[in-house]
Amino acid sequence: MKSVAASTILGIGHYVPSKVVTNDDLAKLMSTSDEWIQQRTGIKERRYIEHSGIGASDLALPAVKMALEHAGLASEKDVDAIVFATLSPDHNFPGSGCFLGHKLGLPGVPALDVRNQCSGFLYGLSIADAWVRGGVYRHVLLVGAEVHSTGIELADRGRDVAVLFGDGAGAAIIGPATDPDQGLRSIKLHADGSGAKDLWLEAPASAYVPRLTKEMMDEGKHFPAMNGKQVFRWATEKMPEVSRAVLEEAKISAGDIDLFVPHQANLRINQLVCQKLGIPESKAVANIEKYGNTTAATIPLGLSEAWREGRCRRGSNVLMAAFGSGYTWGAAVLKL
């Protein structure tokens, strides 16, 4: 295949489970309240899988089918590679991309899992863009999907983390841009491991022998832990910083942005980021009140909903930005 000038999103889709879990539902399990959660996060409810046995690749499947339909493509003949971003894979190994490829009926199609947590979709977008522009693959299926509900501690000890997360999936078809004015204009990625333990899951871990013990479980080390103040400080500094960098490289201003799709970790973070960038909140996606933090799924889920609501269209300038565990962060400017 020949190289191309630019890649773009040809189709976008999303899916969330039907089970709605409100703040009042969580208040029955831990010492919290609807008011407490909303004031600190902006979250009113989130979605959980309906029953055991549903993994990230299962949530991805309907999102992929929506994205393919939007792009006017068929998975059996038009998907050349899969990039699957998740921190909650179906199993520790193999990757969820392999499970998804099998469910889509794509034997032989390469599948790569990306483990960059909240920044996973943007890291995956960078990979897909390079593959398409380099002529390696024509159509790359890029997925962000998470099942958090089976891995959080629904009790007082885990409250600060448990109230944040929900289950969901988003998918995009990345392919050649046909219009010379269209496509991914700039993308920048960063990481700083000095903050790795500010938001992490300690066990099970290959660093320990054995990887998981009863003592670790008694201490709750198999549940995610977060230093919320540090994450907030870093996110509100790095998301505007990297967003300005991609805007500058793309040679457009914040005023030229039609839609801002920030990672949905905390409504207060995104309000402050909008303020620092000079982007009106009316131009920003804010669906955290419905879904909570769906990690790698938040950006494609938000973009898919916005597209279907008529908030963006072909020719729209879209800014995407994320910050998360690692620490990892990034931003991208795309003309749809």
pLDDT of 101 strictly over 90 = yes
Residue from 14, 139, 148, 263 carrying the catalytic annotation: 263
C-alpha–C-alpha distance, residues 37 and 39, integer Å = 6
Burial class of residue 231 (count of CB atoms within 10 Å of its CB; 0-12, 13-18, 19+)? buried
Answer whether residue 121 shows pLDDT above 80: yes
Phi then psi for residue 138, to 5 deg, are -85, -45
Of 31, 274, 67, 278, the residue nearest 163 (C-alpha): 31
Q: Pick the closest to residue 243 from 290, 277, 291 (CA basis).
A: 277
Is 263 known to be catalytic? yes
Q: What is the mean pLDDT of residues 85-101?
A: 98
Count other C-beta atoms under 10 Å from residue 215's C-beta.
9
267-277 and 228-250 are packed helices; what angle lies between their axes, rounded to 10 degrees? Answer: 40
Cβ atoms of 293 and 323 within 8 Å: the answer is no
pLDDT for the residue 36? 96
Annotated catalytic residue within 23, 98, 118, 148: 118
* Segment (H or E) for 75: helix 75-78
CA distances from residue 124 to 81, 114, 164, 260 in whole angstroms, order as listed: 12, 7, 23, 19
Give the model's confidence band at 1: pLDDT under 50 very low, under 70 low, under 90 confident, else very high: confident
Domain 183-335 has CATH 3.10.129.10: no
Q: Give the separation between CA 246 and CA 186, rounded to whole angstroms.
A: 5
What confidence tens digit (pLDDT) does each residue in 18-57 have? 999 999 999 999 999 999 999 999 999 999 999 999 999 9
CA distance 6 to 181: 9
Q: Do domains 7-176 and 183-335 have the same CATH topology?
A: yes
Does an H or E element contain 329, and which?
A: strand 328-335
Q: Which of 177, 171, 125 is nearest to 302 (CA)?
A: 171
Catalytic status, residue 118: yes
Q: List CB contacts of 226: < 8 A, sequence separation 6 or more.
A: 160, 161, 198, 199
pTM: 0.97
Give percent above pLDDT 90 in the chain: 97
d(CA 58, CA 60): 5
Q: How far is CA 197 from CA 109, 193, 211, 230, 264, in A?
A: 35, 8, 18, 11, 21
Query: Cβ distance 144 to 296 under 8 Å?
Result: yes
pLDDT in tens, 211-255: 999 999 999 999 999 999 999 999 999 999 999 999 999 999 999
Which residues sit opposite 191 in a β-bridge?
Answer: 328
| Helix, strand or coil, per DSSP, at residue 137 | coil
Active-site choice (266, 270, 287, 293): 293
Contact 25, 71 (CB under 8 A): no
First to last CA, the chain: 23
pLDDT at 75 over 80: no
What residue segments make up the domains of the chain, in order of their start? 7-176, 183-335
Q: Tell me which fold the domain 7-176 belongs to.
A: Peroxisomal Thiolase; Chain A, domain 1 (3.40.47)
Say how far apart CA 291 and CA 163 lie, in whole Å.
11
Question: For this structure, is 312 an active site residue?
Answer: no
Q: Give dist(CA 9, CA 183) in Å, integer.
A: 8
pLDDT for 84 beyond 90: yes
